[in-house]
Amino acid sequence: MPELPEVETVRRAIAPVLEGARLESVEIRDPRLTRPFDPSIVAHELVGERVAEVGRRGKYLIVRFDSGRALLIHLRMTGSLRNAPNGTPADDPHTRAVLTLDNGSDVTYRDVRRFGTWELLEESDVRPYIDARLGPEPLGPLSAAKLGQRLAGRRAPLKSALLDQRTLAGLGNIYVDEALWYAQLHPLRPAGGLDGEELARLHRSIRRVLRTGIERQGSTLRDYALPDGAYGSMQDEFRAYGRGGEPCDRCGTPLERIVVGGRTTTFCPHCQLL
């Protein structure tokens, strides 16, 4: 599932294609994308809009238009945006939407599992929508002390608290496992129980793995790809995620797999202390 670095990579690739372009035609093939709204009505509303900016908050892409309205795209499990400069390939059964731009490009939305969402919001609704769902950006002006405030008093496992998008925006299973490995913190530690030094390590580790993820253009597992079809390489950097049974890169102890809050979690039982 795309997390902050994957979504940011998509944003950086697709922004130059979309920004300044006017939507000449919009085809939404899958009603699940715009549920509960009728896809043909949403498509009709989008036609004629000119893209002012493509932003991101957490795992949401925010396509802002000159009108002030915004299309919030969440890729969920397997959504991806593709730039099709030579027209849309007709034979891809997983294409769920096609944007035809006045600059001659097409942007297609592809989604195998169909959990992705498109929500068209009025200008005044964007901020409340985001604020109700997302905590601060981990790569924004976030201090270790502020992170401590987000976790204070919480008895949930650290892993679960970090997966909660209201704690910090944009982390998912991959980058939480990676950050906890670097921070040498056990995923089942009570979230509110970290001391100042541990918070500083966690803060540093979260930012480190997200920055590396962006530099590597995300991790390609299953369906994630860049808009031009290229793949990210963050999967080559994994220290914990998906490596259960392999030796820890720090101490050689085999990494263990447990389930936390329904999510498979990999950690080192020797150097990530409970």
Q: What is the CA radius of gyration of the chain?
A: 20
Q: Which of 11, 56, 57, 59 is catalytic?
A: 59
Q: Between 50 and 250, name the residue whose CB sits nearer to Zn ion.
A: 250
Q: What is the DSSP string of the chain?
A: ---HHHHHHHHHHHHHHHTT-BEEEEEE--GGGTTTS-HHHHHHHHTT-BEEEEEEETTEEEEEETTS-EEEEE-TTTEEEEEETT---TT-TTEEEEEEETTS-EEEEEESS---EEEEE-HHHHHHHHHHH----TTSS--HHHHHHHHTT--SBHHHHHHSTTTSSS--HHHHHHHHHHHTB-TTSBGGG--HHHHHHHHHHHHHHHHHHHHTT---STT---TTS----GGGG-SSTT-TTSBPTTT-PBPEEEEETTEEEEE-TTTSB-
State the Cα–Cα distance between residues 273 and 187, nearest whole angstrom.
9
Q: Between 18 and 268, name the residue whose CB sits nearer to Zn ion.
A: 268
Q: How far is the CB of 200 from Zn ion (least distance, A)?
A: 20
Q: Between 152 and 251, name the residue whose CB sits nearer to Zn ion.
A: 251
CA geometry: angle 36, 73, 61, nearest 5 deg: 155
Q: Between 67 and 253, name the residue whose CB sits nearer to Zn ion.
A: 253
Residue 214's closest CA among 13, 73, 36, 1?
Answer: 13
Tell me whether residue 59 is one of the annotated catalytic residues.
Answer: yes
Tell me whether residue 207 is one of the annotated catalytic residues.
Answer: no
Q: Between 149 and 253, name the residue whose CB sits nearer to Zn ion.
A: 253
**Footprint on this chain of Zn ion (rule: CB under 5 A):** 248, 250-251, 253, 268, 270-271
Residues annotated as catalytic (active site), given as ranges: 2-3, 59, 263
